[in-house]
Amino acid sequence: MWLPLDALAPHPKNPRVHGAEVTRLARTILRTAWGAPIVAQWRASGRHRVIAGHGRLLAAREILAGVEVDGELRGGAEHRFDASAPAPGLLPVRIVRVSDAEADAMTLADNARGIQGEDDAALVVEMAAQFGRDAAVMADIGFDGAALDALVKGAGDAILGASRDGAGALGGGDAPTYKGDPDGREYDEGVEGEVASLTCPHCGKLVPRGG
C-alpha cells in the first residue's frame, strides 16, 4: 500500500542509529529508484510502527525536503517515489499484523549481521567497475576507490594466506614460490585468477582481470 510519512512511526527501540549516511541513501534513491517497501506493524491508531526501513523513512523525509544530487536540486514536496504512486509523497509500505514481541524480533533481524551473508569481494569490484573508480553513486554507497582497493587487497591477502596454508599442508612445510613485481611487491600468481580486477601498483587504477 501507499502511505504518507505521518502514517508511519519509528520503532522506539530500533537499535540501528542513523546519521550522515541518510543523505547518501537519499541521493542513491534519487539516482536509481526506491527499492524494498518499508515494513510496518499494524496499529489501530492508523500510525503504524516501522519494523524495517528506518533509514529509508529518514531518507524519504530528506527527499521531500529537497536534496542536492550531482549539483542539481532534486526531490521536493511533489516528488513521487514511484511512477505508479497514486500521489506525490506517498511511500510503499507493507503492513504486517504481528505482536509487539514479534515486531521487536523482526526489527532485530533486519539489523542483525549474524543472519546475513558476506560479500564476495571480486563480484563487488566487478559490479562497481562499470560506474568508474570515482563515481559519486559508488562513493555514496560506500564503494569509493579506496574502499574497492581495500576489498581487492583483502581478497588477495585471504587467497594468499590460503595458498600458504595449503602449500604447508601438502608440501611438508615448504614455502610457496612468489613472483616479485618491479616495485618489490610480492604476490601469489593465483590471486589474479580469483578476483575480477586488481589495482595497478603503478597508476592506482582498477585493472580488469586479464587486462
pLDDT tens for 166-207 read 655 545 455 444 344 444 444 344 444 444 555 554 455 555
Sequence-separated (6 or more) residues with CB below 8 Å from residue 193: 209
Cα distances (Å, whole numbers) of residue 39 to 25, 43, 151: 18, 13, 32
Sequence-separated (6 or more) residues with CB below 8 Å from residue 11: 49, 50, 51, 54, 103, 107
Domains by residue range for the chain, with CATH: 2-115 (3.90.1530), 121-208 (no CATH)
Per-residue pLDDT at 10: 94
Per-residue pLDDT at 114: 83
Cα 136 to chain centroid distance, Å, stands at 14
Per-residue pLDDT at 116: 78
C-alpha 9/C-alpha 51 separation (Å) is 9
Ramachandran category for residue 122: left, alpha or beta (phi over 0 → left; psi -120 to 50 → alpha): alpha
Per-residue pLDDT at 150: 87
Per-residue pLDDT at 157: 72
Residue 152 · residue 197 · CB < 8 Å: yes
Q: Which residues of the chain register pLDDT less than 70? A: 158-211
pTM of the model: 0.70
